[in-house]
Amino acid sequence: MALSVSVALCTRNGARYLAAQVESVCAQQPRPAEIVLSDDGSSDASVSVVRDTLARHGSSAPALVVFENAPALGVTRNFEQAVR
């Protein structure tokens, strides 16, 4: 049976760190099948940074599932949403 990995990535105004985080996720072996991004009402470009970084990987990029929360859920509920 093949191993399938999903990564839960929870954000709130973390755009300056996200490109490096996503690059690190993409470098993992085995490469994750998907990234579940739960953005908790960011006012910066967090979601766009993740999308743009994955786009540079083309067809080898993990699938992306995005939740954009408005209004913000708070830390605990944001993480709960990502891991469901």
CB distance 38 to 18 below 8 Å? no
CATH architecture observed for domain 6-83: 2-Layer Sandwich (3.30)
User: Do residues 48 and 19 touch, judged by C-beta distance below 8 A?
Assistant: no
The rounded distance, in Å, linking the Cα atoms of 36 and 67 is: 8
Q: How confident is the model at residue 3 (pLDDT cuts 50, 70, 90)?
A: confident
CA 22 to chain centre: 7
Per-residue pLDDT of 13-61, as tens digits, reads: 999 999 999 999 999 999 999 999 999 999 999 999 999 999 999 999 9
**Regarding beta strands 34-39 and 63-68, do their DSSP bridges make them parallel or antiparallel, or are they unpaired?**
parallel
Question: Which stretches does DSSP call E strand in 24-69?
Answer: 34-39, 63-68
Structural contact between residues 30 and 60, judged by C-beta atoms closer than 8 angstroms: no
